[in-house]
Amino acid sequence: QVQLVESGGGLVQTGGSLRLSCTVSGSTFSINNFGWYRQAPGKQRDLVAYISSIGSTNYADSVKGRFTISRDNAKNTAYLQMNSLKPEDTAIYLCNAVVERLDGTKASFWGQGTQVTVSS
C-alpha cells in the first residue's frame, strides 16, 4: 500500500549527468524525510543525500558540489540531480522515505533501487 519507485538510472560517461526520481504512492499522508543511499557490490550502503520535511539538506562529502537533492511535495517525489559523474559513483541508488500516515504513525520505506553506471 505504500510503495517507492525509483527511476532515472543508466549508463553515462565520466562527466555526464543523470537525474534520479523517487515517487511514493499508496496511503501516504505526508513524507517527513527523503534519503538517497547507494551501495556498490561488496560494500555497505551509504547515505548520499538527505532532505527534511522543511527542505534542509545534507550530503556526503564525496558528492558535495556535484549532487543536489530536492523534493516536490505535490508529486510525493524526491529527486537527485547528479552532475560531473565519476566512475566511483557507480552503484545501486536507493530511495528511503519516512512517511507519516493519516493516523499519525510513522514508518520507513525503501525503493527497489536503480543502477547507475559511470564509464571511464
The overall average pLDDT reported for the chain is 95
pLDDT in tens, 97-113: 999 988 889 999 999 99
pLDDT in tens, 52-73: 999 999 999 999 999 999 999 9
Contact 81, 116 (CB under 8 A): no
Average pLDDT over residues 79-95: 98
Considering only the C-alpha atoms of the chain, give the largest distance between any 2 of them, rounded to a whole number of Å: 49
Contact 93, 38 (CB under 8 A): yes
Contact 98, 4 (CB under 8 A): no
Spatial separation of the C-alpha atoms in residues 85 and 33, rounded to whole Å: 25
pLDDT in tens, 17-29: 999 999 999 877 7
